[in-house]
Homo-oligomer: A and B are copies of this chain.
């Protein structure tokens, strides 16, 4: 099978589903690309779209989706609970198979340049594609949101990588960048004491000296009354899900609290889970080629 690149654009429309469908059609109508999933959130007024396929085809679909979004979405009238800075807010490119992160970075720059020149929209490269270390983190790039962007991008350190002379108030700014597969992962505790979840989150998150590729927070899930350690594992090949789980379980035990269960939100690479089995079964010499399905699908 050929190389596979995944793309998960977030667009700033989650209420007018006719518009969302028109934008989705740009992906559906691109050959060599498969639309995997999409979901719209009314409160956030935002939709998350997941598709993948041949790298060049994915770039083409991402460009056409952005072009259509800038035609249909007007940021001057946008309201919603989720931080955002553009009609298409962020376009992550994720190498899945037979493509390196470096190759994905090159494609993200090609896509950014095309959006900047043909969609009359500013583009800031982020994550592995960032043109400077302080532009790596999406939260930093987006701080100030849409309303503050016209001023923010006048600062030397926040000048977009691509785009028009004039800030396009209707389109805003999009962050484009390559990043490793991200796993959204939640661990639930047998307690309603959210302080314990927050303390544990501070133990495992990179920002507090924990695992390098772990972003985590503690919260209380109202429906279950359970405190939860909610995290993104932004490079699960290096910060492994099984070590994070064991660490959370050990830290929770320190408070006399058990882990009741955990949940992966959305998709997860096969390797992330098989690495967990390799660890617990001590399969020291296991090769991914031994997974039957990889032989069928190769």
Contact of A264 with B by CB under 8 A: yes
- Asked if residues A262 and B281 are in contact (CB atoms below 8 Å), the reply is yes
Consensus secondary structure, chain A interface: mixed
- A290 vs B37: C-alpha distance when bound (angstroms): 11
Report how far A83 CA is from B262 CA in the complex, Å: 48
B295 contacts A297, CB within 8 Å? no
Q: Is A148 an interface residue (CB 8 A)?
A: no
Q: Interface readout for A256-298 with B: 1 if CB under 8 Å, 0 if not?
A: 0001111110111110011011101111111000111101110
Binding site for B on A (CB under 8 A): 1, 4, 6, 34, 36-37, 52, 96-97, 181, 241-242, 245, 259-264, 266-270, 273-274, 276-278, 280-286, 290-293, 295-297
Which chain B residue shows the least CB distance to A241? B281
Q: Does B273 contact A291, Cβ atoms closer than 8 Å? A: yes
Give the complex CA separation of A261 and B269 in angstroms. 25
CB distance from A84 to the nearest CB of B (A): 26
Is B292 within 8 A of A293, CB to CB? Answer: no
